[in-house]
Amino acid sequence: MSLNELYRGVILDHYRAPRHHEHLAAPDGSAEGKNPLCGDEVTVEVKVEDGAVTEIGAVGVGCSISQASASMMTEAIVGKSRPEIDDIVHKFKVMMTIEDSDEDVVDPDRPGAALGDLEALQGVRKFPVRIKCADLPWITLEQALEDLE
């Protein structure tokens, strides 16, 4: 995937029109994530009922990769149970080579089957310095979920 394809697809769409880009009225858990090197910031808030994330907000400033990753993450997470969320987080990290694994989390013949729009972020792997941008909202989500406990 070329750089242009990476940017032109869903990443720009999410960057320009981020989903769930607002604070929750009464979050059960929240966390602030910052990348001190580049200044990217994101706050993730979750509302949980019966073990599932029923509402999520991700508000931040930063580059298109970090903010699109946050936006796609909110869509992938909302309505999911904790085990489902853990599975998505794991698959994302394997896809981005943040976690070592031999698993094929993404099926090239069925794009979007495992992680939906998030699979567009695969292209970021070719730009190692930007992987941490994609990862920031996910680390922050994990912290927000820990904040519940």
Partner 1 sequence: MSDLTHLRSDFPILAREMNGHPLVYLDSAATSQKPRSVIDAMAEFSRTGNANVHRGAYTLSNDATDRYEEARLRVAGFIGADRREVAFNRGTTSALNQVAYGWGLYNLKPGDRILLTLMEHHANIVPWQLVARHTGAELVYAPYAANYTLDRDKFHELLDERVRIVGLTAMSNVLGTINPVRELADAAHAAGAIVVVDAAQAVPHMAVDVKDLDADFLAFSGHKMLGPTGIGVLYGKLELLEQMEPAEGGGEMISDVQLEASTWAEVPHKFEAGTPPIAQAIGLGAAIEYLEKVGMDAVRSHEVDITRYALDQLGTIDDLTIYGPTDLDVRGGAVSFTLADIHPHDLATILDQRGIAIRAGHHCARPLARSLNQPATARASFYVYNSPGDVDALVAGLHEAREIFGVA
- With respect to partner 1, which residue has the nearer C-beta, 41 or 119? 41
Which residue's entry shows tokens 């909302």?
78
**Helix, strand, coil % in the chain, rounded to nearest 5:** 50, 15, 35
- Least distance between partner 1 and beta carbon 123 (Å): 11
Binding mask of the shown chain, residues 85 to 124, with x at each position contacting partner 1 by CB under 8 A: ----------------------------------------
> What stretches of the chain adopt beta strand conformation (E)?
29-34, 41-49, 52-61
The residue type at 106: V
Binding mask of the shown chain, residues 42 to 71, with x at each position contacting partner 1 by CB under 8 A: -------------------xxxxx------
Taking the C-alpha atoms of residue 81 and residue 53, their distance in angstroms, rounded to an integer, is 6
End-to-end CA distance of the chain, in Å?
Answer: 40
**Contact between 143 and partner 1 (CB under 8 A)?**
no
**Contact between 12 and partner 1 (CB under 8 A)?**
yes
Residues in touch with partner 1 (CB under 8 A): 3-4, 7-8, 12, 16, 37-41, 61-65, 127, 129-130, 133
